[in-house]
């Protein structure tokens, strides 16, 4: 029998395979692969749990944001309504104040008109009394009285015209 290098390579291969099976290397490799697979599955489950938690947190924050937007819209609407009410109220107060001032001004005008009429009447009475006094003082004859009467009437008319203007 001729023993060559191929024979010894084959023998060493079988010894090597035998040593590998003796020390249960395939079971250890299988066990380490199973453990790695188990760790990877746990990590995937943890990642899925974290993903679900992130989705829940995201949905909570989105709902909070939408609630906040709704509250802001309500607050803005309330502020707008209050502003409109305040504008209407201020406008009404302004109009009532103007109306009151208008009434006061009209009353003052009436009072001034009444006072002016009284002043004109008093002035005309004074002028008439003065004219009568002048007539009586100067009443010597009828012609002079007529002249004085006519001139005092014209003078009274002039004075009344000047007072009324």
At 9-63, the pLDDT tens digits run 888 999 988 888 888 888 888 899 999 999 999 999 999 999 999 999 999 999 9
Q: 18 lies in a domain?
A: no
Reading the block at residue 118, the tokens are: 């009284």
Confidence at residue 132, expressed as pLDDT on a 0 to 100 scale: 74
Q: 37 lies in a domain?
A: yes
Number of domains in the chain: 1
148 falls in which pLDDT band (50, 70, 90)?
A: confident
Report the C-alpha dihedral over residues 128, 130, 131, 133, rounded to 10 degrees. 120
For residue 68, the enclosing domain spans 23-164
Q: 98 lies in a domain?
A: yes
Q: 10 lies in a domain?
A: no
Q: 127 lies in a domain?
A: yes
Q: Which H/E stretch holds residue 75?
A: helix 25-137
- pLDDT tens across 63-107, in order? 999 999 999 999 999 999 999 999 999 999 999 999 999 999 999
Q: 156 lies in a domain?
A: yes
Angle between helices 142-164 and 25-137 (to 10 degrees): 170
Q: 32 lies in a domain?
A: yes
């Amino acid at each position: 029998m001729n023993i060559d290098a191929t024979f010894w390579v084959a023998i060493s291969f079988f010894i090597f395979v035998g040593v590998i099976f003796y020390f249960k290397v395939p079971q250890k490799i299988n066990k380490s692969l199973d453990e790695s697979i188990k760790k990877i599955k746990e990590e995937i489950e943890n990642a899925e749990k974290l993903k679900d938690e992130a989705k829940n947190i995201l949905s909570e924050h989105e709902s909070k944001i939408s609630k906040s937007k709704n509250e802001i819209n309500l607050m803005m609407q309330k502020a707008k309504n209050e502003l409109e009410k305040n504008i209407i109220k201020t406008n009404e107060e302004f109009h009532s104040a103007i109306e009151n001032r208008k009434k006061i001004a009209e009353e003052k005008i009436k009072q001034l008109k009444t006072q002016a009429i009284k002043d004109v009447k008093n002035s005309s009475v004074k002028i008439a009394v003065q004219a009568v006094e002048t007539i009586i003082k100067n009443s010597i004859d009828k012609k002079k009285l007529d002249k004085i009467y006519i001139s005092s009437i014209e003078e009274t008319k002039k004075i009344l015209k000047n007072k009324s203007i």
